[in-house]
Amino acid sequence: MRQWIGVVVACGVMAACSHPGTANTEAPPAPSPQSISGTYVGGGHNAANDQLFIQALRLTQSASGQFTGTLETNTLSQSGKDTATTQNVSGSYDGSHVTLVLDDGLGHTNRNATWTAGTITLTWLGDNGQPNTEKFLSKTDEEYATILQQVSTARQKLLDEHNAAEQGAAQDKTTGELVARLQRFLSKEADWHIEPIAKQREKALAFGDKSIAKINELLALHRDQADVAADQVDVGMTQGQIQLNQSLDGTDRNIAGDHQTMAALDQALATSPCLTPAGDLRPGVRPACDPLPALAIRYKSIHDGALAKLAQASSLTAQTRSDYDAKVKEADRLTRSR
């Protein structure tokens, strides 16, 4: 059994329960043979669902050898969740022998029991065919209320611990994701170059200049075939414009994605419970936080340079788009001026 099962023992379900602020008292005297009326409290641990349970038989003698009452059941899981149910009961007793009838809603269940010296002991066969017993000790209403209060306190403690564990696991997951995102971002640092975008610009503008020069050369020949060829070069420039814009659109999307990634990393580092504003580990943080300071230092060291490269790349794509568009318009003007 887990340590938290000690709640049952501490509450006095398995031993005499004491009033708050007083020493332990003996169990109330055994009821007289003429009356079984009273409150009897039992409890224990259900290994099948790992739950504690507190049960109270509240019996009232209705006639000689007859009684009615309720069976109150309070269960408590290790996560702090609890349930409470009440069943009507009735039955009879003859000396120490008791027959208990539990109301199951659409039917009933019989339980045999013995009643001696302030104790009712139920016996029944479990689903596995093995005999089960549960002992109920006679308690005053005040003692039973104390037991329920102690269980309620234990429930809240378990619930707080369960919530803290869930919050810790969620924090560890968030921190692990941040560490992985920083590592991915920093692993690409060696590939951050403006040269490919600059070369794309040079290639596109060179193609435009070469095409315009070819159009001028063909138009100077003053032949119909030359005019047709000039038109074909113009069409080729327009098709090249479509392909270039598609490529530049992809580059712009990548630049925007990098900006979003950096903004998200900035926000995550600023709000991380792991780090102080200076980037050091906060005292008492969880072990998942340990890799963050070193990664944060590396990230901050390249932060401004990365933003500058992104701005330069964005400027180059805009200039390339604008300059090539101007060359296409010039090619159109030349071919249509004839």
- The answer to whether residue 121 scores a pLDDT higher than 50 is yes
Q: Give 253's pLDDT tier (boundaries 50, 70, 90).
A: very high
Q: Do residues 52 and 104 both lie within one domain?
A: yes
Q: Let me know if residue 138 belongs to a domain.
A: yes
Total number of domains constituting the chain: 2
Q: Do residues 139 and 268 both lie within one domain?
A: no
Q: Do residues 16 and 58 both lie within one domain?
A: yes
3-state secondary structure 98-132: EEEEEECCCCEEEEEEEEECCEEEEEEECCCCCEE
Distance in angstroms (rounded) separating the CA atoms of residues 334 and 233: 11
User: Which residues, including other chains, have CB under 8 Å from residue 26's CB and lie 6 or more apart?
Assistant: 16
Q: Let me know if residue 220 belongs to a domain.
A: yes
- The answer to whether residue 94 scores a pLDDT higher than 80 is yes
Its domain, for residue 301, covers 188-336
At 281 the pLDDT is 94
Q: Do residues 223 and 313 both lie within one domain?
A: yes
Q: Do residues 68 and 134 both lie within one domain?
A: yes
Q: Let me know if residue 236 belongs to a domain.
A: yes
DSSP 66-78: EEEEEEEEEEEET
Q: Let me know if residue 165 belongs to a domain.
A: no
Express as a percent the part of the chain with pLDDT over 90.
59
Q: Do residues 81 and 224 both lie within one domain?
A: no
Least confident of 27-41, 181-195, 290-304, 322-336: 27-41
Looking at residue 67, which CATH number applies to its domain? 2.40.128.120
Q: Do residues 95 and 219 both lie within one domain?
A: no
- The answer to whether residue 68 scores a pLDDT higher than 50 is yes
Residue among 134, 153, 155 at smallest CA distance from 57: 134
Q: Let me know if residue 151 belongs to a domain.
A: yes
Q: Do residues 222 and 132 both lie within one domain?
A: no
Average pLDDT over residues 24-33: 45
At 35 the pLDDT is 83
- The answer to whether residue 16 scores a pLDDT higher than 80 is no
Q: Give 98's pLDDT tier (boundaries 50, 70, 90).
A: very high
pLDDT digits (tens, 9 = 90+) for 211-220: 999 989 888 8
At 34 the pLDDT is 62
Q: Let me know if residue 260 belongs to a domain.
A: yes
Q: Let me know if residue 98 belongs to a domain.
A: yes
Residue among 301, 298, 293, 259 at smallest CA distance from 275: 293
Q: Do residues 106 and 192 both lie within one domain?
A: no
Q: Do residues 150 and 211 both lie within one domain?
A: no
pLDDT digits (tens, 9 = 90+) for 125-152: 877 888 888 999 999 999 999 998 888 8
Q: Do residues 64 and 104 both lie within one domain?
A: yes
Distance in angstroms (rounded) separating the CA atoms of residues 290 and 125: 55
DSSP 231-293: HHHHHHHHHHHHHHHHHHHHHHHHHHHHHHHHHHHHHHHHH-TTB-TTSPBPTT--GGGTTHH
User: Which residues, including other chains, have CB under 8 Å from residue 132's CB and lie 6 or more apart?
Assistant: 123, 124, 125, 126
The number of angstroms, rounded, from the C-alpha of 264 to the middle of its chain's C-alpha atoms is: 20
Q: Using the 3D structure, point to which of 120, 144, 160 is the last residue of a domain.
A: 160
Q: Give 14's pLDDT tier (boundaries 50, 70, 90).
A: very low
pLDDT digits (tens, 9 = 90+) for 148-165: 888 888 888 888 888 899
At 18 the pLDDT is 31
The number of angstroms, rounded, from the C-alpha of 48 to the middle of its chain's C-alpha atoms is: 27
DSSP 163-194: HHHHHHHHHHHHHHHHHHHHHHHHHTGGG--S
270-275 contacts, C-beta under 8 A, 24 or more apart? 272/175, 272/178, 273/171, 274/175
Q: Let me know if residue 173 belongs to a domain.
A: no
Neighbours of 60 (CB within 10 A): 13
Q: Do residues 23 and 133 both lie within one domain?
A: yes
pLDDT digits (tens, 9 = 90+) for 238-248: 999 999 999 99
Distance in angstroms (rounded) separating the CA atoms of residues 59 and 66: 10
